[in-house]
Amino acid sequence: MFEMVNVVVVGGGYAGVMAANRLAGSSAVRGLEVTSVDPGVQFTERIRLHQVAAGIRGSVGVEWAEVLHRQVRHVQARVVFIDVNKRTIVLADRKELRFDWLIYAVGSGEQATPLLSVTNYAAARTTGQAIAELPSGSTVTIAGAGPTGVEVACAVAVSRPDLVMTMVAPSGPAHPLTGHPAVARRMERLCITVKNGTVDPSTGAVVNAGGNVQPAAGATIWTVGLTVPSLAADSGLPVAEDGRLLVDETLSVPGHERILGAGDAVAVQGAAGGHLRASCASAIPLGAHAAGSLLARLAGTAPPAIDIGYLMQCLDLGAGRGYVQSVRRDDTPRRWFLNGRSGGWTKEQVCRMTVAWLAKEAREPGSYTWLSGPPVALS
Ligand SMILES: Cc1cc2nc3c(=O)[nH]c(=O)nc-3n(C[C@H](O)[C@H](O)[C@H](O)COP(=O)(O)OP(=O)(O)OC[C@H]3O[C@@H](n4cnc5c(N)ncnc54)[C@H](O)[C@@H]3O)c2cc1C
């Protein structure tokens, strides 16, 4: 007889699904029971939410059965507390689930604001409805000029060319990806104006660089700042200042060896994690690595440190156009880039690949590696 080992994966995004699939499909350990806990009715393709906000797509949901290994038990619920001592999680309906091991993968969102946003499916749908109801000639203000802001602005400009689009950020599109001249040209073509200033997160008023305040008009979409759920902090687990769960280079929580973490909700300590950015591109290899670390511990071997390198960063610039920036393993840009239709085509293939990787890992466990050697992160 062998003892059952119960692993709970909290959060069913890119990181959590990859981790759950890799564990469920592993033949290295007998008696592994994997439970994925997530409040969503379906898996959310979060990297396409700007398309929902623009009314280009009605849904970005994928059936759990399509992306999860058939031996993963899926529980549709929100976790409100992790009781480390009792090794249980508490769900919103106060039910409890026991775990032997836990992978924390609750992802991220934008800073809380009453303004419109695209941070999750519900928010993106509300934004989509608000945009659809705007009379022709109305103003849409996008707070932030990072990748999400640019993707939202381009998608809305394509679907509603009759609206007046403005992006507001303290120093315009200063982000290395969105600041490229090819991106600026595309936005100019779509008549998206970029203003230096800030947006008040409570009222949507725009304070321009000279200090003048313009009250909110039309619709304001907030795309700034990363926040994470407070679950780790609420549960007394070690967190960084911004609430991300602290993990070491093997993705284990120091002092809590049965808890590991992956994706946007964790801060990896040490040099191996220094270059990681919150992204789907990082979440998938981190999820795979967290599962690998857990399996190594179960096998009584030392888990390896992460070794994740990037390949490219991409932007969807609307109507099949895109911008793809080749980067070094440490995410610093190379000279090579693609834009226009070839950039858009490549970006679309990357988006498709993310779900395809999860689905393939569900059917052929261990299949997710990119090229050979350590995982390389796309998008
Ligand atoms: C519009 C948009 C475009 C983007 N484009 C790109 C892109 O092109 N490339 C890229 O690399 N990244 C992109 N991103 C970022 C990317 O989506 C995230 O970095 C990625 O989703 C992080 O993956 P994750 O698995 O850590 O978390 P998530 O995908 O956020 O998943 C976390 C899951 O945990 C669940 N959860 C949260 N709290 C709890 C709880 N208490 N209990 C149970 N479950 C919980 C959530 O409901 C969610 O399903 C984009 C994001 C947005 C919003």
| Residue 344, ligand 1, Cβ within 6 A | no
Give 164-174 pLDDT, tens digit per residue.
999 999 988 87
Let me know if residue 241 belongs to a domain. Answer: yes
pTM of the prediction? 0.96
| Residue 296, ligand 1, Cβ within 6 A | no
Let me know if residue 145 belongs to a domain. Answer: yes
Residues 11 and 143 in one domain: no
Predicted confidence at residue 172, as pLDDT, reads 80
Mean pLDDT within 331-335: 94
Q: What angle do CA 57, 58, 59 make, to 5 degrees?
A: 95
Judged by average pLDDT, the poorest of 16-20, 237-241, 253-257, 371-375 is 371-375
Residues 234 and 265 in one domain: yes
Identity of residue 256: H
Q: Which two tokens stand for residue 208?
A: 């321009």
Share of the chain above pLDDT 70, in %: 97
List the helix and strand counts (H, then E) for the chain: 9, 27
Let me know if residue 343 belongs to a domain. Answer: no
Residues 291 and 207 in one domain: no
Q: What is the CATH number of the domain that holds 133?
A: 3.50.50.60
Q: Determine the structural domain holding residue 94 and report its residue range.
A: 5-39+77-108+228-305
| Count: domains in the chain | 2
Domain boundary among 305, 321, 340: 305
Mean pLDDT within 201-228: 93
- Ligand 1 centre to CA of 151 (Å) is 16
> Mean pLDDT across the chain, nearest whole number?
94
- Give SS3 for 194: strand
Q: Which two tokens stand for residue 281?
A: 């591109």
Let me know if residue 285 belongs to a domain. Answer: yes
| Residue 177, ligand 1, Cβ within 6 A | no
Judged by average pLDDT, the poorest of 20-29, 51-60, 326-335, 366-375 is 366-375
Let me know if residue 67 belongs to a domain. Answer: no
Let me know if residue 316 belongs to a domain. Answer: no
| Residue 281, ligand 1, Cβ within 6 A | yes
Residues 101 and 232 in one domain: yes
Residues 130 and 193 in one domain: yes
Predicted confidence at residue 266, as pLDDT, reads 98
Domain boundary among 222, 250, 280: 222
Question: For residue 17, which atom of ligand 1 is closest to its CA?
Answer: 25
Residues 120 and 178 in one domain: yes
Task: Quote the CA–CA distance of 333 and 188 in Å, as a whole number.
Answer: 23
Residues 188 and 239 in one domain: no
Q: How many CB atoms lie within 10 A of CB 33?
A: 16
Question: For residue 15, which atom of ligand 1 is closest to its CA?
Answer: 25
Give 119-162 pLDDT, tens digit per residue.
999 999 999 999 999 999 999 999 999 999 999 999 999 999 99
Domain boundary among 282, 305, 328: 305
For residue 378, is pLDDT > 70?
A: no
Let me know if residue 32 belongs to a domain. Answer: yes
For residue 6, is pLDDT > 80?
A: yes
Spatial strand order in the sheet of 32-38: 72-76, 32-38, 5-10, 101-104, 256-261, 252-253
Question: For residue 14, which atom of ligand 1 is closest to its CA?
Answer: 25
Q: How many CB atoms lie within 10 A of CB 26?
A: 20
Task: Quote the CA–CA distance of 123 and 115 in Å, as a whole number.
Answer: 10
With tokens 């990037």, the residue in question is 310
Which among 106, 142, 124 has a CA at the least distance from the CA of 278? 106
